[in-house]
Structure 1
């Protein structure tokens, strides 16, 4: 039916004319780029302002006439970027509660092309689908329809509160940003054929909080069937608050909402809804509010680790990985260094007990900085990436692991070898569109070859579920050999990445889960609480 719709609704523009698409959502006029048609700022849901704040998204109504789609829509409300951050954009983002829009880049001759949906990162606090590094011209020229999505951030996107739950037909609150992502995927299912995309071949992809969102979508029953493959770059499978009960060292999400209102000295939902959205966003962040998904039994049925352990996630192929230097650009996640190697060893032994010898072998004190960087990297990103490919492999799905270990002069000189998000411009083909303080990627044949290979792998995975790149080695599935692809100057396949890493982190996580009162994310290494004694079923 949707294939027929594409033929009926798509309007072929004459040479030199802007492209016009008549989709089920309405008629759009976009911009013709070199071989690519771009449509920006397309609403997929109604503005969640005032009376719709903290409610599930409402599908956008079909508009009349021809809608201009040549400009990006505003970003969702977010605090100003951290001063000196390499991730800060070159100019302040225009923000609004009327931010639920998406952007489409399609090959000019697209017909049932694979669809690649990029979910931006930013800790669920910041970011936008309009950021130059996420723009889709390069991947569209590789034959995919690329879509970027805005979703509600911070307190406006993730707040849980008893009064909000009382308003809900399902008796739950929180997860509004995730519901936005699901609504965007519904819009794509219903409309993307008009742009030449195949609604039956959709890949969701993201980095950092975007990859956390990919995992939420894999776990969320309402998202089932809306996508067919997944790419998770630097995902982190951390513990998640429950709606009405304290769990794993975190208070109930509703309790956190009540405490935030107390800190802001605002009583009752009407006053919260009446507050200026940008002021609310900034004040909530300053008060220590940190957004995460909520285990509510409806959108997120259980902790991510539990969903994946039970095999209840979406059974789709996955491509997942992490970077050697994840924490080099995220040093705020590290505690102060110990005085010396002896202090480090004593602290590790006191915290990890019978697992201390394994910790010290894996993260030896000979170089304290590198040991601490690697400990946090593996606990957050390395363990998660391998857990994802192991879980999907267990479901019988083709699964592919990568390790990005690529450095270049500007990054290495800044002490940022293979830093967090450093793979994005290579995979998305945006090496000339990085933020202003990002270490400049040199324009060399070697860099271009690496970028071409990664784009080839990513787009072929979106096309068929198998990553293949021209003039690059075959990428073996993870399988029993625990195969992976390393990106270090050039793609290089290998087996059994970082032997012992996954098993060690899994043992720590298992014991913390069994204890029930401890989170299992960045409270590791020298700031780890005493590790609980071995529990039944834990290594």
Structure 2
């Protein structure tokens, strides 16, 4: 990703002053910006200024483990912001058992910026903040696919950042609940996200950005986080538009677990505190008092991240508690907020891919008949919607069912609640599968397939040149996202029309299997209708205490 510094351009930003004009006689030029914590020096890569590894909060280590993000200590010397900070501590993905993934650390609260190299410090450029996915246990704000050059070249400042993951990002324990009673508890990852957005509000003007035109967008767990931020009161006013890519919208495993046993319910019969206590026991830590908490804080980061599964006390297993409803920071799930119209009223883009994930992701059925039977009284409706001819392979039906249950129908549900609150919403389905990926995605575009297109950063696994057709679609997708960040409407000159979603036509932008973006009435309507009925049936049964 890194390129040689090019051009003889001096671009010095100073907080509150205009940027100096380029001095083309200098040897090597670097941009310097004064922010609230000190001066930072970036690099010029072509016609883009890049700042990497800027701390937005103090390292969350020692006494600050499982505490809200603390203020950064100021510095006197110029900080060279020319390389990514450490990723947040995580295992898996190539890490040996009991170790951290290479390049990850508990000291990880850093952000990165891409902006036009020729921008003035008073340019008031729109800002986009990317929230990475990874199931709240992996991922980072660094990486070639999600670097922001394409956004910067179209007049947008792109920010990526890290947030705490796994048990460091979402964790509860009785002594933690009692400690610092004025502080929010549980979802430290969300606290990090809010701290990063507050950093934008305080500092982005020094880079030429507009703190009053900020768009958050994320995929998978990042898309779930977008829903959460839309419904967390402390996040209000920190962003002005939102995009949720494959983030769902209904209650589920990544949406909010009760903090204590006092608030468990049918969907979450085990509290986050119970899961935390079980984890402590696996580490040989008994009790739930301050002494036990001190021992938890004394554990190595490897023990925290790679500590194995803890039982829920009822024969089940939980790896991490996930987002936590503490009643102070996270006061309700996004679905609850949407149903009551309590979400932030900001323009929204929402959608998913056409064939997100296959296998027994949602349902353990091993045949079509068993899967359709799991719909109960809706069995005939499910069969008619998913396999009317009876000739589809089980694997295809299973993939489509997973996609609709977790992502597509919850996205439609969310869109409808935005229409109800008279808030603009645009819905998409991304279904394009490049020729090089058809063996990997036989039933439609898989989870995350759109990311490289949105960022206009495409690469083939084998290193071969990217097809012109793929490049054209990437330019189109990136332009939609840029336009939305600038105006709240993804449409623009030369782009296929993307209609505003409404009840009358229920039109979406469907990026079809061949890569053509076309506006059409929801093509999955029959499938999504039966999933909606299944959700309503589940809700009725829960209210009766049945499931």
Q: TM-score, normalised by structure 2?
A: 0.86
Between structures 1 and 2, the one with greater helix share: 1
Alignment of 1:21-420 (within 5 A): 21-81=33-93, 93-110=102-119, 111-170=123-182, 173-236=185-248, 237-239=250-252, 240-244=256-260, 245-250=263-268, 251-267=270-286, 268-284=292-308, 288-328=318-358, 331=359, 333=361, 338=366, 344-345=368-369, 348-349=372-373, 351-364=374-387, 366=391, 367-416=393-442, 417-420=444-447
2:469 to 443, 446, 454: 446
Alignment of 1:524-539 (within 5 A): none
Q: Say if 1:172 and 1:456 are closer, same or farther in 2 by CA, change over 3 A.
A: closer
* 1:462 partner SS: helix
RCO higher in structure (CA 8 A, sep ≥6): 1
Structure 1 distance, partners of 2:53, 2:370, is: 55
CA contact (8 A) 1:47 1:97 kept: yes
Match of 1:525 in 2: none
Structure 2 distance, partners of 1:79, 1:105, is: 28
Structure 1 distance, partners of 2:265, 2:282, is: 22
The Cα shift of 1:168 comes to: 3.1
* 1:38 partner SS: strand
CA contact (8 A) 2:363 2:371 kept: no
Q: Say if 1:228 and 1:258 are closer, same or farther in 2 by CA, change over 3 A.
A: same
CA contact (8 A) 1:453 1:469 kept: no
The Cα shift of 1:347 comes to: 5.6
The Cα shift of 1:232 comes to: 0.4
* 1:41 partner SS: strand
User: 1:483-510, CA deviations, whole angstroms, 9 ceiling, x for partnerless residues?
Assistant: 1101121211111231133332222223
Structure 2 distance, partners of 1:63, 1:462, is: 33
Structure 2 distance, partners of 1:13, 1:191, is: 23
* 2:87 partner SS: coil
Match of 1:537 in 2: none
The Cα shift of 1:109 comes to: 2.6
Structure 2 distance, partners of 1:248, 1:170, is: 29
CA contact (8 A) 1:124 1:291 kept: no
Structure 2 distance, partners of 1:479, 1:176, is: 36
* 1:414 partner SS: coil
Structure 1 distance, partners of 2:138, 2:73, is: 27
Structure 2 distance, partners of 1:177, 1:418, is: 29
2:450 to 423, 447, 459: 423
Q: How many residues align?
A: 500
The Cα shift of 1:9 comes to: 7.3
Structure 2 distance, partners of 1:336, 1:439, is: 34
User: 1:298-321, CA deviations, whole angstroms, 9 ceiling, x for partnerless residues?
Assistant: 211112211110010110000011
Q: Tell me which moved more, 149-158 or 15-24.
A: 15-24
* 2:324 partner SS: coil
CA contact (8 A) 2:218 2:244 kept: yes
Structure 1 distance, partners of 2:375, 2:200, is: 47
Q: Say if 1:299 and 1:9 are closer, same or farther in 2 by CA, change over 3 A.
A: farther
Match of 1:535 in 2: none
Q: Tell me which moved more, 45-54 or 273-282.
A: 273-282
Match of 1:88 in 2: none
Q: Please say if 1:458 is aligned against 2:477.
A: no
Structure 1 distance, partners of 2:365, 2:424, is: 41
Q: Please, which runs of 5 or more residues in structure 2 have no aligned partner?
A: 1-12, 287-291, 312-317
Structure 2 distance, partners of 1:69, 1:409, is: 38
1:477 to 483, 500, 503: 500
* 1:316 partner SS: coil
Q: Tell me which moved more, 4-13 or 315-324.
A: 4-13
Structure 2 distance, partners of 1:517, 1:96, is: 43
Q: Please say if 1:501 is aligned against 2:523.
A: no
Q: Say if 1:347 and 1:235 are closer, same or farther in 2 by CA, change over 3 A.
A: closer
